[in-house]
Chain A
Amino acid sequence: MRGLIKAAAVAVVGMAVRRLVSPGGGDGRWQRGPLVRRHPRWHVVTVNRSTDDVVRGKRLPEPLAGLGEAVEIRFRRAAGDRGIELAVRLRDGDRSAVIAGIERLSGRDPDQAIRAALREAKQLLETGEVLHPDYPPTTESTAVNRPLQLATRQGRREGRL
């Protein structure tokens, strides 16, 4: 049964390595190889609020405002009355995948900051708050769960968004 834990750790580390060479989030882009330069892409969330509700305030939700000049931000009414789409991308900075991967592992990847800001902005607009994880945690740190802890610490900054 210990094998199961090892398998989990391998899976998590595997996920991280895949991301290292695939800043897009570990999906099909894997095939492009690590050295291709890529243009910053749009990260988009749909918020279940009317365009008016969001734009009328004339002020960006705080997490997005916090990204400052480094990013471009777009709003668009979502099709089918789904609310409003918020899109963010880095203004400039074609980065090689290797640089992006290193930044990502060290937690200094601007795309991670964009993901977290978008998720938090959406939560603020939809629910009025950003949902926080439990604190203090009951989880203990052990040698076995270190990779998983690393992965979960980045929970809001990672994923495919």
Chain B
Amino acid sequence: MKALVWQGVNEVAVSRVPDPQMRNEQDAIVRVRKTVTCGSDLHLLGGYIPFMQRGDVLGHEFLGEVVEVGPQVRRHKVGDRVVVCSFISCGRCWYCQQELFSLCDNGNTNPAITESAWGFASGGCYGYSHALGGFAGSHAEYIRVPYADQGAFTVPDGVSDERALFASDAAPTGWMGADLGGVKPGDVVAVWGAGAVGQMAARAATLLGAERVIVIDRLDNRLRMAQTHLGVETLNYQTQDVGGELLERSGGRGPDVCIEAVGMESHSSGPQFWYDQIKQQLRLESDRPIAARAAIYHCRKGGSVFLLGVYAGLVDKFPLGALMNKGLTLRGAQQHGHRYIPMLLERMARGELVTEHLATHTMSLDEAPRGYDMFKNKHDGCVRAVFEPAA
């Protein structure tokens, strides 16, 4: 079949790879209808997560049609239109029972790397390197879905492919940031990053009752999108004084909840950027935590900071003093999608959660290298490039 594969740092290509096969009785094979780029892929493309190998298929946010089910699959049958959670979780280990699905004990066939690096292994993820199980990604005609009863969700009839696609990754990730960040009615919430993840976090904060939601980025088209489609406030960190504005808009208190949706390739225009960029290139730190530092600094006393942005290893100049002395709660996680996807699909059906605007560019799988180039360099207002393998 055709698939988009990683060839080397900043090199991807469409090539022919073997079709996926059923490997477990709880597997399904899904014919991919739509599959989309994610900010997390950029960390793989750029080589910041050094566990990719030539030939690995990229992609983890997708929707499709079930074409084969194993004998132990109970909830799905051939023909079901499903959206699949980007994380692979068994649904039966202790972590899954606590609804911490991305921490599943049984989803990663290759736990040694993350266990050695982080102390314990996280779950598995499609198309996300050999550290997260080496599972083939979704930028392909077909994909194997392990634990299909747990990870695949039938899309309600009234919800279009275009909308449901984002219930795979961006929407549950954003929801988790607002939910586990503890957003309550009346809160002031600041979100760093106006990509699909940041936008979904902002929407979730609104739906959870936040009174003011402020999205921060430097890309005006994305900020305008957040204003128009989500009705939230915005700040451009290159042209506006973020600290002063956040104080003014929160009565001098600072935001109650700060959600970071930027990750380890965070950008800034100041000397801080060059400091982190140089240290990152010299391997003296693996990740640039610029937005995370800002979120901690601007958060109100006793407030909560949630890291949705992906980090892989070590950071430098981390403001532990602010964290400790302001009594902050800091959390982060890979998304626990299984916990939110059914609820998100219902909200999509009711029209409360709209995602189509994120798909700024739709193209065939053959054009995926161009799609990644646009997405990476944020050309032509690209927020998400969607690929259609059947087109």
Which residues of A are at the interface with B, using a C-beta cutoff of 8 A?
A: 1-5, 7-8, 11, 15, 25-26, 46, 48, 82-83, 119, 122-123, 126-140, 142, 144-145, 148-149, 151-152, 154-161
Contact = CB atoms under 8 A, between A and B. Distances in A.
Contacts of A82: 94
Contacts of A157: 112
B369 interface: no
Contact of B134 (A4, A134, A144): A134
A23 B123 CA distance: 25
Interface residues of B, number: 52
Nearest to A132: B23
B10 to A, nearest CB: 6
A133 B54 CA distance: 17
Interface stretch (B13-21, B34-42, B186-194, B378-386): B13-21
Chain A contact surface mostly: loop
Interface string B290-314: 0000000000000000000000000
Contacts of B72: 128-129
The residue in B9, B47, B116 that gathers the most chain A C-beta atoms within 10 A of its C-beta is B116
Given A139-B55, A142-B54, A155-B110, A15 B116 contact: yes
A15 B111 CA distance: 14
What does DSSP make chain B's interface, helix, strand, loop or mixed? loop
B112 A139 contact: no
Contacts of A7: 50, 283
A133 B144 CA distance: 10
B136 interface: yes
A149 B53 contact: yes
Among all A-B residue pairs, the 3 with the closest Cβ atoms: A8-B50, A155-B110, A158-B112
B141 interface: no
Interface of B: 3, 5, 8-10, 17-18, 20-21, 23-26, 46-48, 50-51, 53-57, 72, 90, 92-94, 97, 105-107, 109-113, 115-116, 119-121, 130, 133-136, 144, 146-147, 281, 283
20 contacts: A1-B9, A5-B9, A8-B47, A26-B116, A127-B93, A128-B25, A131-B90, A133-B23, A133-B110, A134-B21, A134-B135, A135-B23, A138-B55, A140-B53, A144-B54, A155-B110, A155-B130, A156-B112, A160-B115, A160-B119
B90 to A, nearest CB: 5
Given A7-B50, A134-B144, A156 B109 contact: yes
Nearest to A11: B50
A161 B119 CA distance: 10
Given A140-B53, A158-B116, 6 more contacts: A5-B9, A8-B50, A126-B106, A129-B72, A139-B56, A152-B110
